Structure 1
Amino acid sequence: MSQSRSSSPVSLTTAFLLPIIIINAIGFILPIVNLAKLSFAQALVGGGIGEAFTIDNWASLIGDSYYGRILLNSVLVSLAITLLALLCSYPIAFFLHRTEGRLRTMLTVLVISPLLTSAVVRTYGWVAILSDTGLIPSLLGRFGVQAPPMMFNTTGVIVGLTEILMPYMILALLAGFGRLDSNLEDAARSLGASEVRVFRRIILPLTLPGIALGCLLVFVLAISSFITPKLLGGGRVFLLATEIYDQAMVTLNWPLAATLSMLVLVVFGVAVALYARILRQLSF
């Protein structure tokens, strides 16, 4: 009787986890396996997919410097978006952490409310702001300042994606700020520590896990974003996501598009590995 009682929680847990495992296998693992298989298929003229096994897609990816430049550009743009989102989001998250009551609830809802709006709609909003006749050039023009081009270039993509992804960074930072202990800050101030020293020695170290999580989320979402780079870049900013779309929908080269998609997954894996390593270092 005792053995059946001790094993029943395990059986109950397995019963609850089994549907989740099946859903993940069908919706996540199997598509990746099929994507990897497709990356070794032969691309036929007119968008067909041959049954012959080939490594030509991977050879093109490795041997052609064009794809190397796209990978490098994608990583650099995503890193710039991540850094800019962190610099803009940290003061906001810090202020939200310091507020209390209804004001904090209202401001938190205000911060996450953009997530309820489609990225397409928000991107078109940036098109209206950054275009030659948009809000920013018009305001600068009234002061006699000619605004530099901010549409159909990397600048527009970085600005648009930074704003779109900032709520994710703020939410991750808020989770990190939950580790703060006001007693530690008060003790440091009572011992003569300046506000800069309190921030550098107490606040920043305790919020590093939240920073790492926010940077991971924003980087992964930035490097896989398609709609915003396509609209704000106007086909002149070459990133992995836009190249995957062009290969799949324009040139109809599905095997090469699958190969590029696997490359994105490799970048994801590297980013997650770096995140895990940072967390291990912070735990000591």
Structure 2
Amino acid sequence: MTATQTLAAARGSGPTAPAGEQEQRTRRRNRLTVLALVIPGILGLIVSFVFPLVYMIRMAFNEGAGNGIVVETFTLQTILEPLTDPYYWKVTGDTFLMGVAVGVLCILVSYPIALFLARTESKWKGLLLAVALAPLLTSAVVRTYGWMVLLGNDGLVNSTLVGLGIISAPLRLSNSMTGVIIGLVEIFMPYAILAMISGFGRISTQLEEAAGSLGANRAKVFFRITLPLSLPGVLTAFLLVFVLAISTFVTPRLLGGGVVQVLATEIYDQATGLLNWPFAAALAVILLVLFGAVIAAYQALIKKLGVS
């Protein structure tokens, strides 16, 4: 048999070659389709996020000459200035502690609600979920003003406590970090509930029933099965609330009354009040590094828990 005959026989030997070629063409077509769908999103992300982020980081290496004048240069002095100032170390520490406090309190308050909503089979489940998420329909500014009224010296909380004789003088709840934390916990609770509900799908009721049948009481079942299985959802909710809390501006400015200073308020003051854009960018870079450190810790914990 000649080479030409052999090649002809191979081409006509069966449908495997054409089928293979068809499969390859289908895969290429699918890849092109996916690429065509992804490219607009990637371009939008680059324009709306990457470019502004790069510009902000570059701005942090310039110098501010006052009155909004930016001296185009490349110096580390602008970034080193807040890192060598004890005041900004305190502001950064207060920002971090505020984020941790808001995250922990949100988890403690939202965990029972999220667990109930994830497991209930009530016909009112949809309505209850809507009620839990309803605060998201109201602006954070409006809710912050509401907390200013409630937590003021003559507000509902202090008036009630004084009227009941529990305290003799109003507590300093407004214009303080305590009031800011209270307001932020209420504002970010819906986010924590949503994050935990999505993570509670890993919890197996069969394991809890098996543990109960083996003699474990409800406390042991919760701490040894339910809580460990729900930790990924809890950590995700904490990360989300923490990031939102340390980057928020409205609530610390309004409920803090100018007394509470965090990185977001300092960035605003430097950018709009003093018109020192390089220094504001340097503070933003510090906030970005804080984000990165917490996200790295989150990834390490998730990896340690063996969650993919």
Per the normalisation by structure 2, the TM-score is 0.90
- Aligned-partner SS, 2:202: coil
Which residue identity does 2:267 align to in structure 1?
A: I
Shift of 1:249: 1.1
Which residue identity does 1:249 align to in structure 2?
A: T
Does residue 1:33 correspond to 2:54, yes or no?
A: yes
Greater alpha carbon shift after TM alignment, 151-160 vs 178-187 = 178-187
Residue of structure 2 aligned with 1:210, choices 212, 233, 242 = 233
> Could you list the per-position Cα deviations for residues 133-160 of structure 1 after superposition, in whole angstroms to 9, with x for gaps in the alignment?
1111111121123331101011000100
Which residue identity does 1:46 align to in structure 2?
A: N
Does residue 1:181 correspond to 2:233, yes or no?
A: no
Alignment of 1:1-284 (within 5 A): 1-2=21-22, 3-144=24-165, 145=167, 146-283=169-306
- The two structures, once aligned, show a CA RMSD in angstroms of 1.2
Greater alpha carbon shift after TM alignment, 263-272 vs 227-236 = 263-272
Shift of 1:4: 2.3
> Could you list the per-position Cα deviations for residues 195-241 of structure 1 after superposition, in whole angstroms to 9, with x for gaps in the alignment?
01100111001100000100000000000010000000011111100
- Aligned-partner SS, 2:113: helix
> Could you list the per-position Cα deviations for residues 30-72 of structure 1 after superposition, in whole angstroms to 9, with x for gaps in the alignment?
0000001111111012121112222221120221111111111
Work out the CA distance in 2 between the residues paired with 1:165 and 1:4: 49
Shift of 1:5: 2.1
Identity %: 44
Work out the CA distance in 2 between the residues paired with 1:85 and 1:60: 34
Work out the CA distance in 2 between the residues paired with 1:53 and 1:266: 20
Number of equivalenced pairs: 284
Shift of 1:103: 1.7
Greater alpha carbon shift after TM alignment, 24-33 vs 43-52 = 43-52
Shift of 1:283: 1.3
Work out the CA distance in 2 between the residues paired with 1:35 and 1:179: 40
The unaligned stretches of length 5 or more in structure 2 are 1-20
Work out the CA distance in 2 between the residues paired with 1:265 and 1:204: 31
> Could you list the per-position Cα deviations for residues 93-125 of structure 1 after superposition, in whole angstroms to 9, with x for gaps in the alignment?
122223223321111100111111111011001
Work out the CA distance in 2 between the residues paired with 1:218 and 1:280: 20
Please tell me whether the aligned partners of residues 64 and 71 of structure 2 are also in contact (alpha carbons under 8 angstroms).
Answer: yes
Please tell me whether the aligned partners of residues 176 and 206 of structure 1 are also in contact (alpha carbons under 8 angstroms).
Answer: no
Which residue identity does 1:102 align to in structure 2?
A: K
Please tell me whether the aligned partners of residues 81 and 162 of structure 1 are also in contact (alpha carbons under 8 angstroms).
Answer: yes
Work out the CA distance in 2 between the residues paired with 1:45 and 1:218: 35
Greater alpha carbon shift after TM alignment, 261-270 vs 96-105 = 96-105
Work out the CA distance in 1 between the residues paired with 2:48 and 2:249: 21
Please tell me whether the aligned partners of residues 66 and 274 of structure 2 are also in contact (alpha carbons under 8 angstroms).
Answer: no
Work out the CA distance in 2 between the residues paired with 1:143 and 1:267: 43
Determine which structure has more spread, i.e. the larger CA radius of gyration: 2
- In the alignment, what sits opposite 2:11? none
Which residue identity does 2:238 align to in structure 1?
A: C
Please tell me whether the aligned partners of residues 220 and 268 of structure 1 are also in contact (alpha carbons under 8 angstroms).
Answer: yes
